[in-house]
Structure 1
Amino acid sequence: MTEVLVVGAGPVGLALAADLRMRGVEVAVVERRTDPGAGTRAIGIHSPALALLEASGATDGIRERAVRIARGEARADGRVLAEIRFDRLRARHPYVAALPQSDTIEVLTALAPPVRRGVGVTSLRQETDGIRAQLDDGGEIRAGVVVVATGWSGRDLVYRPGAVRTHHYPDRYVMADVVASGGPVARVHLERAGVVESFPLPGGRRRLVAWAGTNEVTDADGFLRDAVAARTGTPVDIAGASTFGVRRAVAPALRRGRVIVVGDAAHEVSPIGGQGMNLGLLDALTLAPLLGPWVRRGDDAGLARWERDRLASARHAARLAFLNTMLGRAAGPSAHAARTMALRTALRGPGGEAFTRAYAMRFDRAARARG
């Protein structure tokens, strides 16, 4: 019987497995997908997660591959409303590390135990001394503890149907990674027609995201090209754009017996604001030091507090993501002028530091320990 079974080999599951391996905990990892994928997807890793990833050695590999975003700009009507200065945070890593998710997975895969790919888990059965995981290839794995890090698709392993209430936003977005100049500065353009976000990536590329209203977009490349040009004044060549919607969900609990749930399996927040993956990483990396004592000695003293803290952090991130989503919608002339004035006043005053701390996840419970 393995000590810990991690279900899911995305960044969250791999980060947990790598940390547990470093601590000498016997851990197995299964993943239903046969290939980790080559897309960029989630791109930004914030200071608290970078600090906790140091234990497994992942931070150095991430820093080598990433663009370090030390500052950002909030813009409207062709002008800078305010600067967001991550480099002025009192943090071990005063920047956002931006890199494709595939690179993050490569770094973590090298540190984690081998992943058993192409194998899904169909059910989890609680037993006296552990969990019996039934696999879709007919096999099974017995483990002292199981951590579900599958994303939303694995919720049915733990929660009853309807137990995790999900709110679907009406908003649609179009996204692409393109070759573009702009340096290591993040820019958020809050325009009348809706937001355009522009984040640097390695290799002279940028992640562009534009609000697209509430209807499906049939020509994603054309929409994003026109939206970026109209809202930012910068023409770009777009190819391979995709569309996505957003939703919000926070589970009522993260633990059921010897099964723990982390990451998007337990909570989803709007990706506008870039906190979803980081929230999951902090779930995993604050859980890791608690699992060895629990599975070996039955010492679960810290788990109740861990669960309370992580649920509180998830709810806070969901509220911030909702605010970001609201601010990014289209607005009429009067509403846009009022929004611009309010943001300029808030971000250039004491609220600017608070906003920077919130965006960099400095209010997360995990940041109090390290970060």
Structure 2
Amino acid sequence: MIVIGAGPVGLLMGGLLRRAGIDVEILEQRGHGSGDSRAIGVHAPVLAALEGSGLTAGLLDQAVRVTRGEARAQGRVLGEVRFDRLPARFPFVATLPQSGTEAVFSEAAPVPQRGVSVGALRPGPEHVEVDTGAGPRQAPLVVLAGGPRSRELVYRSTLAHTYPDRYLMTDADVSDEQAFEQQDARTAVVHLEPAGVLESFPLPQGRRRFVAWDSLGTSQDPSSADPTSRDPAAQRDRMERTLAAHGQPLTGQVSGFGVRRFVAPALRDHRLLVIGDAAHEVSPIGGQGMNLGLLDAATLAPLLTAWVRTGTAPESELRRWERARLRSARRAAQLAALNTRLGRPLTPTADSARRGGVRLMLGPGAGRAFAHAYAMGFDAEA
């Protein structure tokens, strides 16, 4: 069997199959790991799904357990999200850099064959033909987990909805408990300001990830955006000023990114299956994109194992898997779209209405449902 892609989803897929005794190879175009990434949170359904494999313990050895989140505006708390009050096996969000997640999954996975580019995939009833730069290959089953850029290998239309929003991101040192408005190490903070959102998430080793709405990088027409918006020095200056307004110094590198939405019409073509961002891409504002892919892999691996062992495709189970994962992706995309809209700059009147709306959403009754949604409680595997 071949898995295409050595990001966290591909590594998990390869590791789960290998653990089940399946002969599997991982092909990866990049010559090295992903390095910096926007994906840092592992949610409760993923931790529960991976507990039996031992991978959850490896993740939790490195991660910060975020038990609550706060929404703030103009220095005041609008409401809180309490993950630690949810009836879940793991009532928190585990945060760690994606490189740490990949390191844990790499311990169980076969070593990826790096520098292998895939030019075409031709699925058929008996095998899948894989065209690579090193020549053609055949495999009885292929799982595509190569991210957004790989989806053109499968889908005729790969058009994604592109949001006008752009964001700046950095990981910064927080030297003591008094830093960043006296937030403790297990609390995530979302500042909803008139000028746009600033998010802050705890990371291991006394660091936090900050994500800020970027005014100069944002435009309905990308060609009309400020020409200095992508300049690294200008991005750093904007992020530095944003953090300084909250008493937080800038200590790390700054990167910018945009957001898109894509949900595929199907995840299977004969013996070819598509998981992760290749199949569904949601705004990272909300932190569920990587988790969707990890749950794709965790729930697909037993079905592929049964297929290989028996020589017969578990058709009804595969159809149920595909429906459930697409339903979960659509729900996550809707929540991510709401998060993106909530974080945009607003006029004073609209900003006041937003503050009132957030207070209601995070108030008694509704707040528990909101926490349930943000913890991926509406995923089919929750």
Residue 211 of structure 1 aligns with which residue? 213
Q: Which residue among 112, 117, 124 is the counterpart of 1:115?
A: 112
Q: Which residue among 276, 292, 313 is the counterpart of 1:263?
A: 276
Given that 1:32 and 1:118 are in contact with CA atoms closer than 8 Å, whether structure 2 keeps it comes out as yes
- State the SS of the aligned residue for 2:21: coil
Given that 2:38 and 2:284 are in contact with CA atoms closer than 8 Å, whether structure 1 keeps it comes out as no
What is the alpha-carbon distance in structure 2 between the residues aligned to residue 97 and residue 261 of structure 1? 26
What is the alpha-carbon distance in structure 1 between the residues aligned to residue 324 and residue 187 of structure 2? 32
- State the SS of the aligned residue for 1:246: strand
**Comparing 241-250 and 31-40, the one that deviates more:** 31-40
> After the TM superposition, which parts of structure 1 deviate over 6 Å for at least 4 consecutive aligned residues?
none
What TM-score results when the alignment is normalised by the length of structure 1? 0.94
Given that 1:7 and 1:148 are in contact with CA atoms closer than 8 Å, whether structure 2 keeps it comes out as yes
Q: Which amino acid aligns with 1:88?
A: R
Residue 170 of structure 1 aligns with which residue? 164
Residue 285 of structure 1 aligns with which residue? 298
**Comparing 285-294 and 197-206, the one that deviates more:** 285-294
Deviations 1:159-193 (A, max 9, x none): 12xx2331111111110011024422100001111
Q: Which amino acid aligns with 1:237?
A: L
Q: How does 1:102-251 map to 2 (within 5 A)?
A: 102-138=99-135, 140-160=136-156, 163-180=157-174, 181=179, 182=183, 183-213=185-215, 214=218, 215=225, 217=229, 218=231, 219-230=234-245, 233-251=246-264
Q: Which residue among 309, 325, 336 is the counterpart of 2:340?
A: 325
What is the alpha-carbon distance in structure 1 between the residues aligned to residue 248 and residue 315 of structure 2? 56
What is the alpha-carbon distance in structure 1 between the residues aligned to residue 373 and residue 198 of structure 2? 20
Following TM superposition, by how much is the alpha carbon of 1:277 offset from its aligned partner in structure 2, in angstroms? 0.3
**Comparing 124-133 and 145-154, the one that deviates more:** 124-133
Deviations 1:173-227 (A, max 9, x none): 1100110244221000011111000001111111000001314523111111112
Q: Which amino acid aligns with 1:148?
A: L
Given that 1:224 and 1:238 are in contact with CA atoms closer than 8 Å, whether structure 2 keeps it comes out as no
What is the alpha-carbon distance in structure 1 between the residues aligned to residue 125 and residue 298 of structure 2? 27
- State the SS of the aligned residue for 1:297: coil
Q: Which amino acid aligns with 2:260?
A: R
Given that 1:225 and 1:238 are in contact with CA atoms closer than 8 Å, whether structure 2 keeps it comes out as no
Q: How does 1:24-173 map to 2 (within 5 A)?
A: 24-138=21-135, 140-160=136-156, 163-173=157-167
Deviations 1:9-55 (A, max 9, x none): 10001111111112222211111111014324310000001111223
What is the alpha-carbon distance in structure 2 between the residues aligned to residue 311 and residue 126 of structure 1? 21
What is the alpha-carbon distance in structure 2 between the residues aligned to residue 168 and residue 261 of structure 1? 21
Given that 2:125 and 2:271 are in contact with CA atoms closer than 8 Å, whether structure 1 keeps it comes out as no
**Comparing 215-224 and 353-362, the one that deviates more:** 215-224
- State the SS of the aligned residue for 2:284: coil
What is the alpha-carbon distance in structure 2 between the residues aligned to residue 128 and residue 152 of structure 1? 26
What is the alpha-carbon distance in structure 2 between the residues aligned to residue 60 and residue 25 of structure 1? 23
Q: Which amino acid aligns with 2:338?
A: L
Residue 360 of structure 2 aligns with which residue? 345
What is the alpha-carbon distance in structure 1 between the residues aligned to residue 16 and residue 87 of structure 2? 25
- State the SS of the aligned residue for 1:302: helix
Given that 2:152 and 2:158 are in contact with CA atoms closer than 8 Å, whether structure 1 keeps it comes out as no
Task: Give ranges in structure 2 of 5+ residues lacking alignment.
Answer: 219-224
Q: Which amino acid aligns with 1:134?
A: D
What is the alpha-carbon distance in structure 2 between the residues aligned to residue 59 and residue 235 of structure 1? 32
- State the SS of the aligned residue for 1:366: coil
Following TM superposition, by how much is the alpha carbon of 1:242 offset from its aligned partner in structure 2, in angstroms? 0.8
Following TM superposition, by how much is the alpha carbon of 1:121 offset from its aligned partner in structure 2, in angstroms? 1.6
Q: Which amino acid aligns with 2:369?
A: A
Given that 1:221 and 1:238 are in contact with CA atoms closer than 8 Å, whether structure 2 keeps it comes out as no
- State the SS of the aligned residue for 2:253: coil
Matching of residue 315 in structure 1 with residue 320 in structure 2: no
Following TM superposition, by how much is the alpha carbon of 1:128 offset from its aligned partner in structure 2, in angstroms? 4.1
Deviations 1:258-285 (A, max 9, x none): 1110010011110001111001111111
Given that 1:189 and 1:195 are in contact with CA atoms closer than 8 Å, whether structure 2 keeps it comes out as yes
What is the alpha-carbon distance in structure 2 between the residues aligned to residue 249 and residue 104 of structure 1? 24
Two-structure CA RMSD over aligned residues (Å): 1.4
What TM-score results when the alignment is normalised by the length of structure 2? 0.91
**Comparing 246-255 and 30-39, the one that deviates more:** 30-39
The count of corresponding residues between Structure 1 and Structure 2 is 359
Matching of residue 359 in structure 1 with residue 374 in structure 2: yes
Given that 2:267 and 2:322 are in contact with CA atoms closer than 8 Å, whether structure 1 keeps it comes out as yes
Q: Which amino acid aligns with 1:154?
A: S
Matching of residue 306 in structure 1 with residue 321 in structure 2: yes
Amino-acid identity (%): 53
